[in-house]
Amino acid sequence: MKSGVRRLIADGTVLPAHPLALHADRTLDRTHQRALTRYYIDAGSGGIAVGVHTTQFAIRDVGLYRPVLELAAETALHWTSRPLALVAGLAGPTQQAVAEAEMARGIGYHAGLLSLAAMTAASEDEIIAHCETVARAIPLVGFYLQPAVGGVVLSADFWRRFAGIDNVIAIKIAPFNRYRTLDVLRGVCAAGALDRIALYTGNDDHILLDLTLPFDLRDKGVTVRTHFRGGLLGHWSVWTASAIRQFERCKAARNQASIPADLLALDARVTDCNSAFFDVANNFHGCIAGCHEVLRRQGLMQGIWCLDPGEGLSPGQLQEIDRVTSEHADLSDDDFVAANLDRWLA
């Protein structure tokens, strides 16, 4: 990994989870897919995560995994000269995950975000062995995915052992649960790896507080203070320019004697938006289509089609998106998108 990219990930940055732009016939819409990548780069993202849950795991079933990863990497290479962290989603049992890691590394990706959704029947010993094997193929970003969308519940001891794997560089913590979030932090702390492994929030229900507040951890009678350094979020696939401004405010507030009340209160407004985009009322069924709808309204997508025809907006979700886009219009980046859309689509 290039030193500039390694430093970028270690210091903490904004990594949007890249959606999948499709035509009405559910074939890849390369024009809008490329426009999305350009949007995230121009918004100021430190990189992108491609082939992840937001990109739809089903890309593997329809032969789109390599083309989508290649398109994002090629677009990034030709759109900017600044360092960008390219993170590839890795999924499936060990053989598949290793093959995807080797493919992603060959395309030019710097790290792999390892989904454990295929390991629901495995023991923690088996999952650790799986992670160790995949980490030999590419630097690894751990992924604690919430059970509602296929994640596996894991103990603090699992995360201690995972943090001991040499080629782990970061962990995306996204169980949408305070107790399980602390399990990861405790495990990394117990492994003595807080300086080596960057903690990234994926808790879309707690974004700004995760990025702002310090966490005090106790290990063997010693208090260790740590912070989330960045975020890798599906929520950040929309209104990204605004999200980056929020991230910079959070970063500036860390380690200060006091944190502005307005910044703390903003967390509730961001979470309210997420409740609509991610379809919390229907147990996240429409989480991908909800983000698509926001991007469609801005012109960054032609429609909200998902690879699975049964995956779309839930009843009432459209009205909730209408509500939050009206009530929190100042959190959008509509003007930024409107000013640049023609250039991104060119």
pLDDT tens-digit map of 188-234: 999 999 999 999 999 999 999 999 999 999 988 899 999 999 999 99
Q: Please state the length of the chain.
A: 346
Q: What is the pLDDT of residues 99-112, one digit of tens each?
A: 999 999 999 999 99
What is the DSSP-derived secondary structure letter of residue 313? P
Backbone angles phi, psi at 51, to 5 degrees: 80, 20
Mean pLDDT of 303-309: 97
Q: Which residues of 267-284 are buried (b: 16+ CB within 10 A; e: fewer)?
A: beebbbbbbbbbbbeeeb
Residues 6+ apart with CB under 8 A from 304: 289, 292, 293, 296, 312, 313
N-terminal to C-terminal alpha carbon distance within the chain: 31
Cβ(121)–Cβ(152) below 8 Å: no
State the CB neighbour count (10 A cutoff) for residue 57: 21
Q: Give pLDDT, residue 219.
A: 82
Residues 6+ apart with CB under 8 A from 127: 116, 119, 152, 154, 158
- Strands in 168-174's sheet, in edge-to-edge order, are 14-16, 230-233, 198-201, 168-174, 140-145, 111-114, 85-90, 47-50
pLDDT at 152 over 90: no
* Beta-strand pair 168-174/85-90: unpaired
Mean pLDDT of 23-45: 98
Mean pLDDT of 138-167: 91
Tokens for 340, please give them: 């640049």
pLDDT at 337 over 90: yes
Among the ranges given (45-49, 73-77, 220-224), the one the predictor scored with the smallest mean pLDDT: 220-224
Q: Give pLDDT, residue 151.
A: 79
- Please state the pTM of the whole predicted model: 0.96
pLDDT at 129 over 90: yes
The residue that leads in pLDDT, 146 or 334, is 334
Compute the distance between CA of residue 102 and CA of residue 235 in angstroms, rounded to an integer. Answer: 28
